């Protein structure tokens, strides 16, 4: 990830600010506020603003109980209770705003989470940076046979080299044509003074989806947790998962108690159906349970067995 001199100066200026406030702050998050945390080859995640912390969640939850109940439980105990019993509203009282630089094809996947306020860099008004996401060789996988939206075995050798060459050549060629149509280079210089450039809103349509875009993404804590539950999961696409992993670390700095409860009761938890529960109950009693007698589909049975590291899988 490379930052321009202007970007580095902007970050330095933001981090040097000293503002007095009566609002709660998170000391660990303050340490990385505005910092560009690298993701992929040219991307980054920056926390640029936030509101509230763990105590804000507790404050919101306790307002319905009245003043006399602050000693009923610790903040940690209450947050764990809220997470464990799926009480969502108190987590909506905290908000966070990120500045994210990411490939366009990941942005289009990300935007499906329609629970945030988003303002994206506009290629109608500005020229996109001459930067493209090119996967590392260890991320070049074939299409999965069993999962229509997943990856299978790694592509290696000459085929991997050919794929990388195609990606680089296509991205470079289309960007060169983008500049040619604009009659302007990404650094702002004009190519041919005798020609008019095509409108930016039209020229952009020829760019490849691995071009980088940027946006500001603001959401409340509840919806951030929902996003991270899906996108920091091992089954999520690698390119969006690495962004979610970085954001998960910022969550730990921002609301450490909530982060711990989230890992315990969401990420590390196992959710089973009523049929699956009956299977586990019988197995716990020492009863022999077979797939044929479980009333589960083959996929449900295998998922249940995998969740508890049981060996009774059906091939």
Ranges of beta strands (E only) in 138-266 are 141-143, 151-154, 212-220
- Spatial neighbors of 278 by CB under 8 A, at least 6 apart, are none
Asked whether the beta carbons of 201 and 122 are under 8 A apart, the reply is no
Whether 114 is catalytic is no
Measure the CA–CA gap between 176 and 182, rounded to whole angstroms: 10
Which residue among the candidates 231, 241, 266, 299 is catalytic per the annotation?
A: 231
Phi first, then psi: give them for residue 113, nearest 5 degrees. -80, 95
What is the helix (H) or strand (E) element at residue 44, kind and residue range? strand 43-51
Asked whether the beta carbons of 141 and 154 are under 8 A apart, the reply is yes
**Dihedral sign for Cα atoms in the order 112, 118, 123, 128:** negative
Residues known to be catalytic: 231
């Amino acid at each position: 990830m490379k930052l321009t001199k202007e970007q580095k100066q902007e970050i330095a200026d933001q981090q040097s600010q000293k503002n007095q406030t009566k609002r709660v702050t998170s000391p660990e998050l303050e340490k990385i506020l505005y910092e560009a945390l690298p993701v992929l080859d040219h991307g980054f995640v920056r926390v640029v603003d936030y509101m509230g912390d763990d105590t804000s969640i507790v404050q919101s939850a306790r307002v319905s109980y009245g003043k006399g109940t602050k000693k009923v439980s610790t903040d940690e105990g209450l947050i764990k209770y809220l997470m464990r019993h799926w009480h969502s509203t108190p987590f909506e009282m905290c908000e966070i705003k990120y500045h994210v630089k990411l490939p366009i094809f990941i942005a289009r996947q990300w935007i499906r989470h329609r629970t945030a306020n988003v303002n994206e860099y506009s290629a109608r008004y500005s020229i996109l940076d001459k930067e493209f996401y090119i996967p590392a060789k260890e991320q070049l996988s074939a299409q999965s046979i069993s999962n229509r939206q997943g990856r299978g075995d790694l592509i290696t050798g000459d085929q991997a080299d050919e794929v990388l060459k195609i990606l680089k050549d296509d991205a470079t060629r289309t960007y060169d044509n983008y500049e040619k149509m604009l009659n302007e280079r990404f650094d702002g210089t004009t190519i041919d003074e005798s020609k008019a450039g095509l409108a930016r809103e039209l020229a952009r349509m020829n760019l490849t989806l691995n071009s980088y875009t940027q946006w500001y993404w603001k959401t409340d804590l509840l919806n951030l947790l929902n996003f991270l539950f899906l996108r920091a999961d091992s089954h999520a696409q690698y390119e969006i998962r690495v962004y979610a992993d970085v954001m998960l670390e910022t969550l730990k700095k921002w609301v450490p108690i909530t982060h711990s409860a989230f890992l315990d009761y969401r990420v590390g938890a196992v959710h089973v159906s009523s049929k699956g529960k009956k299977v586990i109950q019988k197995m716990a009693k020492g009863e022999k349970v077979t797939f044929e007698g479980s009333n589960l589909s083959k996929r449900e049975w295998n998922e249940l067995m995998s969740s508890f590291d049981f060996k009774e899988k059906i091939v």
